[in-house]
Structure 1
Amino acid sequence: MSPPPRRGKLVPILTVGSAVLISAILVLVVASLGLGTFPPSSVFKNTSSAHAPLVPPSQVVGRVFFSSSVQINENTSQGIADQVELDLSNIRDPAAGKSYYAWLLNDDPVEGKALLLGQLPVSNGQVHFHYAGDQLHTNLLAVTNRLLVTEEDAGTAPTTPSLDTSTWRFMAEFPQKPNPQDTVHHFSLLSHLRHLLASDPSLQSLGMPGGLDIWLFRNAQKILEWSGSARDDWASQSTDLMHRHILRILDYLDGLSYVQNDVPVDSPVLVNERIARVSLLEFDVQHQVPPGFVYHIALHLHGMVESPGATTEQKRLAIQIDTAISKVQALLEQVHQDAKKLVVMTDAQLAQPATLSLLDDMVKHAQDAFVGQFDPTTGEIQNGVTQIHFAIQRLATMEVTVIPASFARTNHSNSSSMELCIPCLLNNVQQQT
């Protein structure tokens, strides 16, 4: 007998009346993710007292990663990667009268801005800090790429990081070195992350901000919604409505460039044409521009794995997501085959009992593609767009390291504070460690 689900279970086939369950089941799905499960902060166990010396320079002391509040809309990248989680271990208490401050920075040496995340509390050598974002839910991955932790006056919160490098304690950054094998685009790891979670130029030019991941999530969810609605239409024998929902499904799966190959001549486009200009599926690898969402995301995952500076954990997770992407593609292709059969049926054929089996099959594959499939071996729901969505967010993780004291002393004694460029100096830190 197969073991029962440990944390979440597959929901029944959704109908239009139960489509509202989609949002609710995401909570269950997140709890049972087989993808994107990073080690909990307890992995970075505190092995020293609160007053023990700092760990050796260049040693990883924790992680900082971007998360999303999901306060999103289709017209901006807001609400995506707008929050920050910081977990550190083996951290000594700051000196008397001092506090640690966390900052996000970008690389512009002239107009570069520093965002103060807040004061970091230290408890038994541990730091667990959550930044909930600003009122606009700004996409932080789009505008920053580094973390700096300084130790400064506890009584007065600084407005910018101190230019005195002797106050710098920890740093993290997303690698920006282009992949030497990428002779066409010269993408770095940061480039791939931003295409996935902030802004992809091919989508941006079509008025679709926010990156590839959120649009895959939105459009796969619509496929499930329309599939369930079409099945409900069979129960009420509303064949005209059923036909319209099937057209919508093909509009999203095929995109406007290819949908006419699958639907009757002169079929109307019933979805937002701006969104339907990008398909979910890929039909012509050489000439399809822009690529379909599933294929396009896979390209960036492969690029991440090959990018200089990608961590072992990022590579492992990217490979897992790529495997899930392949399974989602196969499921959506089955939805595509079912929809192609249904869209050419007459009203009389759509009303037949045999059509219900085809509709059930389409809904089941759409559900498995979006929600995921139950794995009796692990007792978890795996390999759906929902799991992919949350796992891709986990790729936006930086390793936090100690800034060597020797670097701080050298730059403090040799440089005038007015001449310091914080991003430039952090680049020097990275080169020396």
Structure 2
Amino acid sequence: MNNNVLRSGALNGAQAVPKLNQDTNILVMGLDSRVDEQGKPLSPAVYDALDAGDQTIGGYNSNVLMLIHIPANGSKATAISIPRDDYAQIAGIPGESIQGKIKEAYGDGLAAAQTALLAEGKPNNNATYQPARDAGRRAEIATVSQFLGSVHIDHFIEVTMVGFYEVAQAVAPITVCVNQATQDTYSGANFKAGLQQIDAKQAMAYVRQRRDTSNPNYLFSDLGRERRQQAFIVSVIRQLKQAGTFTDIPKMQSVLTAVSKNIVVGQGLNLIDLMRQASSITGGHISFTTLPITGFGTAPNGESINTVDVAQVQATVKELLTPAPTAKAKPSSASTSSSAASTSTASSAGTTAKPKAAKKAAPTTTYGDWTGALQGGSIPCVKLRCAPDNGTYRRIFPFSQATPK
């Protein structure tokens, strides 16, 4: 597996932040690219499965950005989702000082490097394309590190849309949960309410859906989509743990080998060692948090953006990465999935329904919106927002055929 996976030296020179402790920070970048790692079109069958258009759509935006923090002492891991439209200072591009959506750093870095290489008379082929991809990775890593408050990034994992699809194929069927039935002709989403098993194509729709085309009262947003992405990861971790995959190295290797050609990692990341080391993650002992925004706005170029308070973002990150020690407390009725108590109502922090022993139902935890921490260990049941919320955390996407998938 470690010989087959694609490697990149993009971390070299991407950050001037020293490593201050033995904790591990991994940046996960999910690209909206509809091509393979050589920039070549995918097969018609894969485009049909992705239901997201062909190579003429999309680019090199890091539409998914997550920082995975693994404490060296084996305590609970933390995953931080960075909203893709957060307006940030783009870093890591020599000679340029620009602002833009944080997801655009990859594409901006790639374009700048490719332009410079071609200006030097280099051929427009893979020999210039791959260094340009590394420049894009370097810019995204530098931008995220700076945005989060000079956070040191030890490793990165880059996954394209087809890479995600192959991961889903390797582990399907996957059990997920939604609180309300929903359909979306853009992403192909068509889910019933409650627990259900989905295949790889449905998994693509589950993590990409950002609107409902059957009910105008379903108000979706990118922030809700990030919550479903978190829920999907938690469900997969739980499923692989139950199947014994994490403790069966040949089984783990077969999963990773199936997806290696569309995943890029840093030169120093050993994926098998990571599986052994990250017992907190593989055991489901992880929480997912989405960084706060202050609202929605418009950039000088007319693009819709998330407005942020950078000081608030960095304070939130600092608290998540270095939580204050807390004394052990007895479980209370307010506890989530680790508590024996349960209630019938849901809040943004999540409430667990205790499964009946006779039916051995899968434990689920309901989340009312994207705020608060989503905990590992159970199957998250994601609630769709169906009423106005004073516009603070709401973006309605028009049901226009001109709207990109």
- Structure 2-normalised TM-score? 0.23
Which structure shows the bigger proportion of residues in strand conformation? 2
Which structure shows the bigger proportion of residues in helix conformation? 1
Kindly name which structure, 1 or 2, has the bigger radius of gyration based on alpha carbons: 1
Greater RCO structure (CA 8 Å; 6+ sep):
1
- Structure 1-normalised TM-score? 0.22
